[in-house]
């Protein structure tokens, strides 16, 4: 930025820490953090690169979400199978309890009849 004068700052973008600015009559993009800034004389290209980077990041997030959904679907299938087996076990135990109750009732009736 040697010898340049900044006339106007516009469109502060906190995600890229960049300003669109007019520097010596030319639109530029000033980006950086702290005391070190870079002047980009092709702000549209820089914006395009930033947009492409954000798009790639979003595409990566979509892939991760799709994997999470696949794992969730698989877990749901496993849980449904487990619930089905558990329901079968409960039904079996209920049948055993009913058989035991019948056996106890029969034994009690036999004991009371004597």
**Co-location of 68 and 28 in the same domain:** no
- Asked if residue 107 is part of any domain, the answer here is no
- Reported as a single tens digit per residue, the pLDDT across 58-69 is 888 888 889 888
Instruction: Answer yes or no: do 56 and 13 share one domain.
Output: no
Res 46: pLDDT:
54
**Residue tagged 């049948």 (tokens):** 95
Task: Tell me whether residue 1 is in a domain.
Answer: yes
Which domain range does residue 73 map to?
A: 51-102
Span 88-106, pLDDT tens digits: 999 999 999 999 999 999 9
Question: What are φ and ψ of residue 22, in 5° steps?
Answer: -105, 115
Its pTM stands at 0.42
Count of the separate structural domains present in the chain: 2
Question: Does residue 65 share a domain with residue 23?
Answer: no
> Residue 95: inside a domain, yes or no?
yes
Nearest partner of 50 among 12, 15, 10, judged by Cα: 15
Query: 55 and 93 share a domain?
Result: yes
Contact 27, 43 (CB under 8 A): yes
């Amino acid at each position: 930025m040697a010898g340049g004068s900044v006339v106007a700052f516009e469109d502060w973008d906190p995600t890229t820490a960049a300003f669109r600015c007019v520097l010596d009559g030319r639109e530029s993009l000033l980006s950086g953090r702290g005391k070190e800034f870079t002047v980009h004389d092709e702000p549209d290209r820089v914006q395009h690169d930033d947009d492409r980077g954000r798009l790639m990041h979003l595409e990566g997030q979509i892939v991760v979400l799709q994997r999470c959904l696949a794992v969730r679907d698989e877990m749901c299938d496993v849980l449904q199978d487990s619930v089905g087996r558990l329901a079968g076990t409960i039904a079996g135990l209920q049948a055993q309890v009913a058989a035991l109750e019948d056996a106890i009732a029969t034994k009690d009736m036999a004991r009371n009849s004597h």
